[in-house]
């Protein structure tokens, strides 16, 4: 049967399945809820360095959480010290853990050129 004949054979008007039940309307998200993939970004300060790339961070609202370094920070070996200001991503489902996504640059930290003779 040609495709044109199939389209002509399809009923028009209200949508229904072959068993006669009505079609379900498309999903409409509720504006008062977060999406499953939506993360919360917060600012904080590193309070303690823990083993295996984890840190204890005190958020601006005085909550203390444990965060791990994000993949790009680990890949490029961005060093983080106690007292550094950081940005953290948190899931709305677990408010005790987070991911360290950004360390704010401070003029006194980071790369500095060596002084002296080179061999």
Would you state the structure tokens that stand for residue 82, as one six-digit string?
A: 């106690």
> Residue 68 to residues 28, 56, 87, 116: CA-CA distances in angstroms?
34, 9, 12, 37
Per-residue pLDDT tens over the stretch 38-65:
899 999 999 999 999 999 999 999 999 9
Would you state the structure tokens that stand for residue 20, as one six-digit string?
A: 């006669």
Residue 57's pLDDT is: 97
Residue 28's pLDDT is: 66
Question: What are the structural domains, with CATH classification, of the chain?
Answer: 40-103 (2.40.50.140)
- Percent of the chain at pLDDT exceeding 70: 59
Separation of alpha carbons 53 and 67, rounded Å: 9
């Amino acid at each position: 049967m040609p495709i044109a004949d199939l389209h002509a054979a399809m009923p028009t008007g209200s949508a229904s399945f072959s068993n006669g039940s009505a079609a379900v309307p498309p999903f409409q998200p509720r504006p008062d809820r977060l999406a499953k993939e939506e993360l919360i970004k917060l600012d904080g300060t590193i309070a303690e360095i823990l083993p295996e790339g984890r840190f204890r961070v005190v958020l601006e609202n005085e909550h203390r959480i444990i965060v791990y370094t994000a993949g790009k920070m680990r890949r490029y070996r961005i060093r983080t010290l106690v007292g550094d200001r950081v940005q953290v991503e948190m899931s709305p489902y677990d408010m005790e853990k987070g991911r360290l996504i950004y360390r704010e640059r401070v003029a006194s930290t980071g790369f500095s050129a060596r002084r002296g003779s080179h061999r």
